[in-house]
């Protein structure tokens, strides 16, 4: 098999792997978004006439999945499109730890805490999964760069 064919097959294979990893990262993000939406629906259902005080949002950011919590400041405006004023709750753990400290939710009422604990347990698994997939993706990118160098060097030697 000629060198150009080996190089082409190798690069095509690496791109296919990266494409599948990107798709899996997106699926993990979509899963987390569904958990976020379900949390909000459950929170509103359980709240009755009380105002939910803990809200959450999800986004991919620099190779990690940010599932962050915020403490709502006051009742949301009654007008459509009104914004909820919220304060970010820091995770308080390292980047490689997918869990919030349980003390971050000390002010939650019992009905809120139950929903938060369930949602956070799901988030922790998804954060860890996203972290592992991102790590594999970074290693594939490094391997791809090495393959480019290796095929380039062999090409230089055989000219």
Residue 92's contacts (CB-CB under 8 Å, 6 or more residues apart) are 100, 101, 103, 104
CA distances for 22 relative to 11, 110, 128, 138, 145, angstroms: 16, 38, 16, 11, 18
Domain of residue 16, residue span: 3-157
pLDDT for position 106? 87
Tokens in use for 1? 């098999």
Pairing of strands 86-89, 64-72: antiparallel
pLDDT digits (tens, 9 = 90+) for 117-127: 999 999 999 99
Report DSSP state, residue 66. E
Task: State how far the Cα of 61 lies from the Cα of 111, in Å rounded to an integer.
Answer: 31
Radius of gyration over every alpha carbon of the chain, rounded to an integer in angstroms? 22
Residue numbers in the chain where pLDDT is lower than 70: 74-84, 92-95, 154-159
Strand (E) or helix (H) holding 58: strand 54-61
pLDDT for position 136? 96
pLDDT for position 94? 66
Residue 127: name the closest of 47, 40, 51, 35 by CA. Answer: 35
How many domains does the chain divide into? 1
Report DSSP state, residue 104. G
User: For residue 157, how many other CB atoms are within 10 A of its CB?
Assistant: 6
CA 52 remoteness from chain centre: 24
pLDDT for position 6? 87
pLDDT for position 8? 86
Phi and psi at residue 71, in whole multiples of 5°? -100, 120
Task: State how far the Cα of 146 lies from the Cα of 42, in Å rounded to an integer.
Answer: 49
pTM reported for the whole predicted model? 0.82
pLDDT for position 154? 65
């Amino acid at each position: 098999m000629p060198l150009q064919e080996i190089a082409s097959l190798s690069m095509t294979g690496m791109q296919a792997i990266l494409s599948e990893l990107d798709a899996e990262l997106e699926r993990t993000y979509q899963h987390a978004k569904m958990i976020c939406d379900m949390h909000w629906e459950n929170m509103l259902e359980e709240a009755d006439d009380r105002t939910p005080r803990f809200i959450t949002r999800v986004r991919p950011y620099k190779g990690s999945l940010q599932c962050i919590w915020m403490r709502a400041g006051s009742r949301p405006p009654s007008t459509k499109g009104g914004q909820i004023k919220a304060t970010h709750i820091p995770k308080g753990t390292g980047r490689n730890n997918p869990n919030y400290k349980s003390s971050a939710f000390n002010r939650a009422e019992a009905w809120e805490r139950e929903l938060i604990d369930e949602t956070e347990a799901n988030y922790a698994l998804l954060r860890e999964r996203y972290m592992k997939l991102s790590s594999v993706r970074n290693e594939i990118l490094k391997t791809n760069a090495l393959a480019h160098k290796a095929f380039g060097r062999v090409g230089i030697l055989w000219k």
